[in-house]
Structure 1
Amino acid sequence: MFYALGKKGNPQSLLMTNNEVFLLHWVNSILTYCKVVYAGIPKILFVATHKDKVPVEDVETRRALLYSEVEELFKDHEGRNHLVLDKQLFVNATDKNDQEIESLKKAITELTFDHPCWGENMPNACVPLELEIAEMVATGTQILSLVELEELNTISKVSVLDSEQLHDFLHFQHSLGKMIYFHTLQLRDYVIINPLLMVEVMRSFVTDIGFWPKKRRMQVIFSRMSESGIIHREDLYQIWEQKDFRPILPYKEFIFNILIHLDILAEQRRYDTGTGSRLPVENFFVPCMVTERNTTSFMEKECTPEKAICCLCF
């Protein structure tokens, strides 16, 4: 994985406290959600961007400054061995001929070849199904129901996986990042065969004000979410009714549950004080939209062993 340094055209933004927090958050998130099977894996490669905003004569100075700050930020981090800091890349993403783009490709390729799994034998039985799915992705299919996937498996003329092998295949493909599949009650009926779909899902509502939709109704939704950090379920469904995001609509409940599962949305849980049963809710926190620190004494006063079993603060 690689993380781009710099924000909104300012290559020095890493020096800002908020951006240091964001950088630490992303690294911690990667190491939290990526199961560590091999020491030092996954690798995280940092890439400085917006080189085009820096005078040519200052590029090397700025490069050294950025990466020295990264070194300092993570010098005592327990995940330090996951970070790739010897490849100090500084790219101009607006120039396809920038030589450092090629250096980036080379660095990613080298890291791939260095992965302990590279060169391991793969079960041939899975290849036909994998190729069928790859063809579907190439033609624009992004999600399959588990039933559709099972049917695709059974019509194979070369190799048919049994139920256990099929689920092993799904979990293995998920571990490689080639598919998204969670064997939980609310999510196990569908498989995202093109993980890039989640980029579009995130782009649909986690975006800068400059990219907000122009329609008044959409402006109200995004403004409310930006100010409160809260979004309604139906608001998100309305966002997905826009032309660019309509492919999401047939699977809106599944995608919504994926967002909750991945903690991209956080459910505001409410309980009936009389019965103790869960109440239906329509409001959801969007943690990544929160921009201000908690300066209240709520955590110290309310989140105590006597009052709460578990308390999360965004």
Structure 2
Amino acid sequence: DYRRECGQRYLEEIRSYLRDTPTAVHLVDEDFAIDNTILDSELEELKKKIVEVASQQPHWGEQIPTRWFLLEQQLMKLRDGGRKVVRLCEVETLNKEGTVRIKDSEELDVFLRYLHETGTIIYFSIEVLRDNILLDPKWMIDALKILINARPNLPGNLADNDTESNCSAASAARNCIRQRWTDFKEKGILTVELVDAIWTKKNYPDLHEHKKHILMIMEQLNILAKPRSFNENGEKVEKYFLTPCMLRQESPREYVSLEQDIRLVSTPVLCCVFRGRYLPPPIFHRLIAACITRWPVSKKKETSEHLIFCGCCMFDLDLFHRLTLYCRNDIVFARITRLVIDEDKTLEARLCTRVRKFITLNLSKITSCLGQNLQYDLRIQCPPSREDSEDSIVGLSPPFDMWFADEGHDPDAPITREHMNHARLCVVLVTVCGNAMRDVLSTHVSPPHTDIHQAILANKVKLTSRQGRPLLNADQIKVVFPDPHGKTTGKVDQFDLSLLYILIRNISTVPAPVRGWGYDPQDQPRDHSLGASVERIRSYRNHIIGHSMNGEISQQDFDDYWSKIDAVLDEIELKLGKQGYRAQLEKQKTQVISIYEAC
């Protein structure tokens, strides 16, 4: 039915997002679309599945000591009596008064962590949090809800019957609180003053009493991000918080688009590509918070709206330079732009270098503080017209233009021959080979006698089927079917090599190579079929673009790749009866190329 279909569509989007990440090992095949407004029979099936999965865990079947159960009952009795927070010393006293006692502080810590992991309490054993234990986890949700639902006409701690002598001061205080509320709603910046005005002693005595501890727990749970930054002089910590859940608006496309505005000059986009393509959201949120301590958030000139969004923020580095920092597909992107004044298109190279050092230093510190042993590589996005493509991230070997201006190299010096070889092959694969792949697809569409758009629409179910694993991931579906109703298709010239390969393999009449699809065609040098040519282009794309770690290719390897690509294009010309690909290739070999043309 419709409910189940919607549920499966939503769950498949989540599954496709997680499929190529380390989290994929936790996915199960079954979907459970449960309606909470009725007594849904699916709920029982979900319970059975949870028990089935849980029973496979190594701790399943382990016995819980009776002394744990008795102490848990004592804590629950306090909670049922209205207590929200209990101190660790009180728990120790309850344990000593019990008939069966937990042996020592080490076992007590294990017991409390067990209750935390089962969702019974909130307890962290780190030094700054271990002395206070939240007995009701739901109370934390209520506390956040109270903050989010607050209104601008907050009375705060100000009495409504202020005397005339205090009227001016009270009015100023109210205006200050209203401004804090506006910052919270627009920029997600939560100040302690605003918290005091919302969690008043009169209305929320428990929240007011334990305010400091609750805020620290929210930070530990990554509900809040304390703006703290690191530089060569040490750590800087602000007294307010960034609240990511308040940043609900997606960033407008023009703020992250790589389409060049003639009024602006821009650096190549620096990419922090995390290995395994796994980037926990709190890391990016804390990076934004760190940048807030260093630079002011930019404002839109026409409306004075702060340019901070969900997954994107812009900062004014100085009067002329602006940093755009955004996150997509578990990659952190950074770009610096400058307004062209009197035809001066130069970027301040040392400023770019300082920004790069600040970003990389804070990313390393943040991942370390969160206990995340995450590694990332610095890359450059290439080319601008493929901003959402898997082919758009190429290897980077520092030093590289103005991002690495102070590494002992002239930022205006030409790139090395090895860099140029790699860049030239990237351009050839994306342009010449991309054109050849598009022609292969358009001349071998299925059903026959249809154009490529009709063929894609005819195969929509096959491409996006929610039964099992769809052929296209969520991002590719958006490119192929930009219309939410699926009645039109995207522009074919926007299909990257990875997408073209999937379409040729699955909705065209191109015969599979001798060994079948997905195998390295180098093992079959005598296979000159059209399918083998497609596989060879895929293989070259993976080795040159996808798996490059330093953005360099030696002259010998360059010549080898070039001759192989030339041979593949020759085969495609013969099979399609169409000339021109090899001529385009030859033109690229002698074309004057700079790193800005490539990236």
Aligned to 1:99: 41
Q: Which has the larger radius of gyration?
A: 2
| Aligned: 1:249 with 2:195 | no
| Distance in 2 (alpha carbons) for counterparts of 1:85 and 1:254 | 40
TM-score, L = length of structure 2? 0.37
TM-score, L = length of structure 1? 0.65
The amino acid of 1:289's aligned partner reads M
| Aligned: 1:88 with 2:32 | yes
* 1:22-75 deviation line (CA, Å, top 9, x unaligned): xxxxxxxxxxxxxxxxxxxxxxxxxxxxxxxxxxx5334434433443443333
Aligned to 1:9: none
SS at match of 1:267: coil
Shift of 1:245: 4.3
Q: Which shows bigger deviation, 144-153 or 119-128?
A: 119-128
Aligned to 1:30: none
| Distance in 1 (alpha carbons) for counterparts of 2:16 and 2:235 | 46
CA contact (8 A) 1:87 1:107 kept: no
CA contact (8 A) 1:181 1:188 kept: yes
User: Using a 3 Å threshold, how does the CA distance of structure 1 residues 105 and 140 change in structure 2: closer, same or farther?
Assistant: farther
Aligned to 1:304: 356
Aligned to 1:145: 87
User: Using a 3 Å threshold, how does the CA distance of structure 1 residues 237 and 106 change in structure 2: closer, same or farther?
Assistant: farther
Shift of 1:104: 3.9
* 1:238-280 deviation line (CA, Å, top 9, x unaligned): 2222877432222111112222233322223489x9xx68777
| Distance in 2 (alpha carbons) for counterparts of 1:94 and 1:120 | 36
Shift of 1:200: 1.8
Aligned to 1:21: none
Instruction: State the identity as a percent.
Output: 25
The amino acid of 1:119's aligned partner reads G
CA contact (8 A) 1:200 1:245 kept: no
The amino acid of 1:94's aligned partner reads T
Unaligned runs of 5+ in 2: 157-176, 250-308, 315-322, 326-333, 336-351, 368-599
1:1-314 correspondence runs (5 A) = 58-91=2-35, 93-95=36-38, 97-205=39-147, 207=148, 211-213=149-151, 215-216=153-154, 220=178, 221-241=180-200, 245-269=204-228, 281-290=238-247, 291=249, 292=309, 293-294=312-313, 296-297=323-324, 299-300=334-335, 301=352, 302-305=354-357, 309-311=361-363
SS at match of 1:305: helix
The amino acid of 1:147's aligned partner reads C
CA contact (8 A) 1:179 1:193 kept: yes
SS at match of 2:122: coil
CA contact (8 A) 2:226 2:242 kept: yes
| Distance in 2 (alpha carbons) for counterparts of 1:201 and 1:176 | 21
The runs of at least 4 consecutive aligned structure 1 residues that moved more than 6 Å come to: 277-280
SS at match of 2:362: coil
Shift of 1:286: 1.4
| Distance in 2 (alpha carbons) for counterparts of 1:100 and 1:216 | 44
SS at match of 1:284: strand
Shift of 1:86: 0.5
| Distance in 2 (alpha carbons) for counterparts of 1:252 and 1:238 | 12
The amino acid of 2:313's aligned partner reads N
CA contact (8 A) 2:226 2:241 kept: yes
CA contact (8 A) 1:67 1:85 kept: no
Shift of 1:105: 4.1
Shift of 1:114: 4.3
The amino acid of 1:178's aligned partner reads T
